[in-house]
Structure 1
Amino acid sequence: MGKLSVAVLGLCTTLSVWAQETPADFTSQVQLNVSGSGPWYRLELPLAVQLNARQADLGDVRVFNAAGEPQAYALSRQASQRSESRNVTAVKWFPLYAADTQQALPDVVMKATTSGTLVEIKPSTAPKPGKQVLRGWVLDASAIKAPLQQLSLDWSREQEGFQRFSIEASDDLQHWKAWGDGQVARLSFADDRVEQHDVNLPGQSARYLRLVWQGQAAPLLTSAKLESATSSTLPMPLVWSQAFPGERLKAGEYSWQLPTGLNVERLRVELKQPNTLAPVTLSGRSDAKQTWQPLSNGLLYRLTQNGKDVVQDELQLPGQTVAQLKLQVDERGGGLGVEAPALRVAVRATQLVFLARGEPPFSLALGNASVKAASLPLSTLIPDYSPERLKALGQATLVGEITVKPPAIAALPEAGTDWKKLGLWAVLLLGVAALGAMAYSLLRKPPVAG
């Protein structure tokens, strides 16, 4: 029986060594540079690198050391929690006036109660004679304690067209931080009225918001609401792809093929021609064998207003895996032209954390449709894991561009892998035959006489 145990142990050792993955099993590789405190390092995976993967969930990503030994790693996307608590709160608004639509806002005095509730806004000095122009509004969000996710405005129905404004945030009414631009609209189109009331906010907390219209008077508000959300984790930022060319299927219908399946959360359609207006419906699927599934709809436009382009070229998506996209356009608005527009997609950024073992340099490899996912949970990879601990880890960065093997060279490892499998099966069958022969000989041996 001792020989039997040795044979089994040797067979298992041989299988383990032969079955171990090597960098040559992957089509794309790039060297990594590490800095900071180890032995754990975190790497932000650029989307250009992710596009070389052959599995939508990045199950074929690996990290190797200089000896070609795989490293333990974890993937973290920290996607937005769909079950987070969201609340919509109606807030008060206070007007801001100036002499004209181009002048900077004059100094104003803003008074708030001890609890922070805004009660009055007035000029710091007596206004000059003449008509004052309504330039914007200050919203009182002091009663909202959660991060602000979305702003919803309604205004006088007599005022149609686009309303574009800057958004600033403050906690003390003295120091203001830019939160980007917002745009709402009310348009008449094909005997219908198209309205856009919502503006996305950066998901941060603020007690007050200041909305300032540029180059035009502000409309009279009739409603202002803020949507807030409480979540235990913040989402990773979105990363955008390069532009993908499309194909025109027929009038008003276009399609795009992505390099691989991606969990798309937003897309941007290139609108080259000024004064483009296009109500659209977007569908997607993971491969050509599936039926198209509706993903989103909306109004895309690029219109010239006051000498400037007003652009809405993005659609929000649910984040499911898609490899093909199809856009159907209502051509009553003029369509998007004969040629398919270019398309960019955005996915949630992915962070890779690995435990460095062995000697550098380390390398990132990906591009193998047949390997199984090998990532660990962060709490397993880092026993005392916490979000604060994650931020303190060492950094890993890419050295140069990722190297992608040409198809002819990439096919060689597959042929080698087939021979490896044949050899593996041969060793396995020989081992089983040897074990069977040993067992048979033991059974055939006559019992020793007492």
Structure 2
Amino acid sequence: MRIITAVVAMSLALITSVQAEERPQDYRQQMPLTLEGSGPWYRVELPMAVHYAAQHGDLRDLRIFNAQGQAQAYALLAGQSESRDQEQEHGVRWFPLHADAQQGGVPRLRVQRSTDGTLIELTDDQPATAQRQLRGWLLDASAIDVPLVRLNLSWSGGEEGFQRFSIEASDDLQHWRSWGEGQVARLSFGEERIDQRQVELPAQPARYLRLLWHSPQQAPQLDAVTLRSRRQSSSPAPLVWSEPMSAQTVSDGRYEWQLPQALPLERVRITLDEPNTLAPVWFEARSREQDPWRALTNGVLYRLPQDGREVRLDELALPGWTVRQLRLKVDARGGGLGQQAPTAAFAVRATQLVFLARGEPPYRLAVGRSAATSAALPISTLIPDYSAERLAALARAEVDVGAAQAAVADVSATPNTDWKRWGLWAVLLLGVALLAGMAASLLRRPDKG
């Protein structure tokens, strides 16, 4: 049994070593890379020509080779949508809240507001004979329509030490919801003083805030109040577009496109050549010719005058399915898209390639091998101290798409039959068969004991 295990292990090792000997000639298309800056890492924005030339939509058959034909280590990064937080500080108005010193409780208010909801007057609804005591403050945040994340208080007087208060939020001054508790502090030691003025808020919008001190005798006189808001904005994932492709007219109002490769399409852009165009359209798609057509998207494309200028909608979002054939149907009631068959450009999510340059230039990007498996590394493995900031600072390289045809011609000129590789495979298989025969003979030999 140990002999068989050794035979299998040796066979797998030999096969792996043969598979690892990849060459640029194994790939249908090669594109030179132009380097800018000093490496050793380079970042490449992959154009649509690379996606079209690949045999797989996920680019598993992409490789980078140096001048000696050695494969380079690389990573692929798919474009992602980005979210950004924008913070802004706002000065707000504040109003004292008093309560009966004997009874305590929550202050009662009489409120007047302007037509847009801004607080213009707030008075205590307390009896004239009541002994009033400052309980806290009401903050008018009605001019802020985004989530509130931080409160900053500046005060005079009041005792030193820690001051705790409850925070409540409201949109109508009638119904209040708890936002937890806040704490500020003023500490002195000799000639040094420490003020803790900031209180974190739960990142929710509110028109009014009510601050009620746990110990009313500690409630300070406020000198300034600011609120910090946070607005979150997002940008969609970057796209890479193809050149416009002419459609094949199937019938009146029906057109088809055949992509060089099945790709996960994100958007389509139809060229509207004629002004005053209005066209309801439907897109269908499929990955292979034997597959049935299925609905992809629909919408209305137009190019129309409005207020002395021209407005147009010539793009439609797609669900990201992997498709190769697309069919467009145009509703004739809108007048169609013109006399000529329309052209369309297609977009996929942009992909960045990062590779570690080793050996001598020039470096070439190779694609187009159906039997290839992915050789991409995780970006954190390729760059051990990887960070988004370092990625942005990497040297750049560009794919010379215009030189790809010359590279293809050189590859096609080489003989298709690689006798050296076939001979190596023959020797390998013969060796494996010989070892397997020896193992079988040993197993059939009777035990002498």
Cα 1:403/1:275, change in 2 over 3 Å: same
1:428 maps onto 2:405 in alignment: no
Instruction: Please list, as runs of the form range in 1=range in 2, the aligned pairs for 1:34-433 lying within 5 A after superposition.
Output: 34-80=35-81, 114=91, 143=146, 236-305=237-306, 308-399=309-400, 401-404=402-405, 415-416=416-417, 422-433=422-433
3-state SS of the aligned residue for 1:51? Answer: helix
For the Cα contact (< 8 Å) 1:27–1:405, is it kept in 2? no
Q: Which runs of 5+ in 1 are unaligned?
A: 86-111, 121-139, 147-227
3-state SS of the aligned residue for 2:43? Answer: strand
Which AA in structure 2 matches 1:426? A
For the Cα contact (< 8 Å) 1:71–1:357, is it kept in 2? yes
For the Cα contact (< 8 Å) 1:28–1:402, is it kept in 2? no
Shift of 1:250: 1.7
1:187-228 deviations in Å (ceiling 9; x for gaps): xxxxxxxxxxxxxxxxxxxxxxxxxxxxxxxxxxxxxxxxx8
Shift of 1:439: 4.2
How far apart are the structure 2 equivalents of 1:63 and 1:407?
15
How far apart are the structure 2 equivalents of 1:335 and 1:35?
47
Percent of aligned pairs sharing the same letter: 49
How far apart are the structure 2 equivalents of 1:427 and 1:11?
14
How far apart are the structure 2 equivalents of 1:45 and 1:261?
17
Which AA in structure 1 matches 2:91? T
How far apart are the structure 1 equivalents of 2:347 and 2:280?
21
How far apart are the structure 1 equivalents of 2:306 and 2:288?
41
1:26 maps onto 2:52 in alignment: no
3-state SS of the aligned residue for 1:262? Answer: strand
Match of 1:164?
none
Which AA in structure 2 matches 1:62? R
Stretch moving more, 349-358 or 397-406: 397-406
1:125-152 deviations in Å (ceiling 9; x for gaps): xxxxxxxxxxxxxxx8852689xxxxxx
Q: Which has the larger radius of gyration?
A: 2
Shift of 1:13: 5.1
Cα 1:282/1:434, change in 2 over 3 Å: same
For the Cα contact (< 8 Å) 2:285–2:296, is it kept in 1? yes
Cα 1:374/1:19, change in 2 over 3 Å: closer
How far apart are the structure 2 equivalents of 1:244 and 1:400?
17
How far apart are the structure 2 equivalents of 1:19 and 1:66?
18
For the Cα contact (< 8 Å) 1:49–1:402, is it kept in 2? no
How far apart are the structure 1 equivalents of 2:393 and 2:146?
34
Cα 1:366/1:414, change in 2 over 3 Å: farther
Alpha-carbon RMSD: 4.1
Q: Which runs of 5+ in 2 are unaligned?
A: 94-113, 116-142, 150-230
How far apart are the structure 2 equivalents of 1:17 and 1:340?
50
For the Cα contact (< 8 Å) 1:287–1:323, is it kept in 2? yes
1:61-82 deviations in Å (ceiling 9; x for gaps): 110112111111111113349x
TM-score normalised by structure 1 residue count? 0.60
Shift of 1:416: 2.5
For the Cα contact (< 8 Å) 2:286–2:323, is it kept in 1? yes
Cα 1:113/1:20, change in 2 over 3 Å: closer
Instruction: Provide the aligned length of Structure 1 versus Structure 2.
Output: 316
How far apart are the structure 2 equivalents of 1:40 and 1:366?
20
Cα 1:367/1:405, change in 2 over 3 Å: farther
How far apart are the structure 1 equivalents of 2:415 and 2:260?
21
How far apart are the structure 2 equivalents of 1:323 and 1:141?
49
Cα 1:443/1:286, change in 2 over 3 Å: closer
Match of 2:226?
none
How far apart are the structure 2 equivalents of 1:261 and 1:58?
11
How far apart are the structure 2 equivalents of 1:445 and 1:328?
74
Which AA in structure 2 matches 1:382? I
How far apart are the structure 2 equivalents of 1:75 and 1:375?
6
How far apart are the structure 2 equivalents of 1:7 and 1:257?
45
